[in-house]
Amino acid sequence: MPDSDHSSNRTLPSGAHRGAAHRLRRAAGTLFGLALVALALWGLHGMLKESSPQDIAAALRALGREQLALALGCLLLAYLALTCYDLLSLRWLGRPQPWRRSAPVTAAAFALGNVSFNAMVVAGGVRYAGLRPLGLAPSEVARMAVFASLGFWLAYATLGGLLFALDPVKPSVRIAGLLLLAPATYLLLSRRPRTLRLRGFEMTTPPLPLCVGQLAAGVTELLAISSVLWLLLPDVPGLNWSHFMQAFLLAIVAGSASQAPGGLGVFDSAFLLLLPKGTDMAQAVAALLAFRVLYYLVPLFLALAGLALRRLMRRRG
C-alpha cells in the first residue's frame, strides 16, 4: 500500500503538467488568433482610408437584384453540396439514411459551425443532437466531422494545386501546386481500405467510390462558395477568375489560421490585399459585406429558426 500511494503521488505532477501544458496551448492559440484579428482590422482600416462609410453604403445599394439572385442560387448549391458529406459518411459507417433525413441536420451543423470559434466541435454537437435517434456513438459523429473537413480541404488542395501550378497569381506561389499530391495520394490509398492512426484516433479510409464522391462534393461546395463573392464583386481591371480564386483560397487559409468565427477581419483583409492595385475598395468591401450576410447570416437565421420550430413541435407533440 505505501508503495502504491507513493507511486500515485509521483504521477500527479506529471498529469498536472500535461493539463497545464494543454491549457497553455489553448490560451496561446486563442491569443494568436486574437492578435491576427487585431492586426487584420488595423490593416483593413489602413486600406479603407480613402473610402467613407457613405461610399460603402452606396456600393451596397448599387448591387443589382440579378446579382443577389444569382449569388443566392450559388449559396443554395453550396449547401446542397455540403449535405452530401454526411450522406456519404453515413453510408461509410454502415448507417445509410435518405437525404431528406440527414440534409437538414448537416445544413444546420455547418450554418452554426461557420460562425463559431471551433467549427468542428459545434458542428459535431449539432450532428450528434440531430442524429442521436439513429444510435450513433460520439466516435462515429467524430468520424463524420473528419470526413466533412477532409472533403473540403482535399477540394482546396485540388483546385488550389491546379491554379497555383498552371496560372499562379504570383510566381512565388507556383510551388503550392504540390498540393495536388494530397488528393492524389488520398485516392490511391482508398483503393484498398487502410487504418490511419493519429494521436490515438483511428479511422479506416472509405472505399474509393465514396472518396470520389467526397472530393466531388468538396469541389462543388468550394466553387459555389467562391462564386457567391465573385458575382458580388464589381468589375476589377486586371482581375480574372483564376486570380480571384487564388486570392479567395489564400484568404481562406489566413482566416482559418486566425480561429476567428468565419475568419472575421482576417479573411477580408487578406482578400483585399491580394486584389490588383487600383481596385475600388468601397465596392470590394461592399461585396465582402454582402457575401458575409448571404453566406453566414442567412443560413444562421434559417438554422436557428428551424431548430426553434423543431423544439416547438416536439413540445406540442
Per-residue pLDDT tens over the stretch 6-51 = 444 444 455 555 566 656 665 565 565 666 566 555 555 555 666 7
CA gyration radius, the chain: 22
**Can you tell me the mean pLDDT for 147-156?**
94
State residue 124's pLDDT score. 86
94 phi/psi in degrees, rounded to 5: 80, 25
Predicted confidence (pLDDT) per residue in 210-265, tens digit: 999 999 999 999 999 999 999 999 999 899 999 999 999 999 998 888 878 888 88
Using a cut of 0.75, tell me whether the model's pTM lies above it.
yes
Q: How far is CA 156 from CA 98, 111, 184, 206, in A?
A: 27, 20, 13, 19
Query: What pLDDT is attached to residue 316?
Result: 79
- List the alpha helices (DSSP H) in 48-175: 53-61, 65-92, 99-113, 119-131, 138-166
- Residue of 159, 155, 150, 104 whose CA lies nearest to 131: 104
307 is written with which cell numbers? 431548430
Angstrom distance (rounded) from CA 257 to CA 284: 23
Helix (H, G, I), strand (E, B) or coil at 201: strand
Q: Report the C-alpha gap between 53 and 282 in whole angstroms.
A: 8
- Name, in order, each residue with C-beta under 8 angstroms of 138's C-beta and a sequence gap of 6 or more: 128
What is the average pLDDT across 150-176?
92
**Alpha-carbon gap, residue 80 to 104, rounded angstroms:** 10
B/e letters for 186-220, b = 16+ CB within 10 Å, e = fewer, are: bbeebeeeeeeeeeeeebebbeeebbebbbbbbbb
**Contact assessment for residue 267 and residue 251, using Cβ atoms and an 8 Å cutoff:** yes
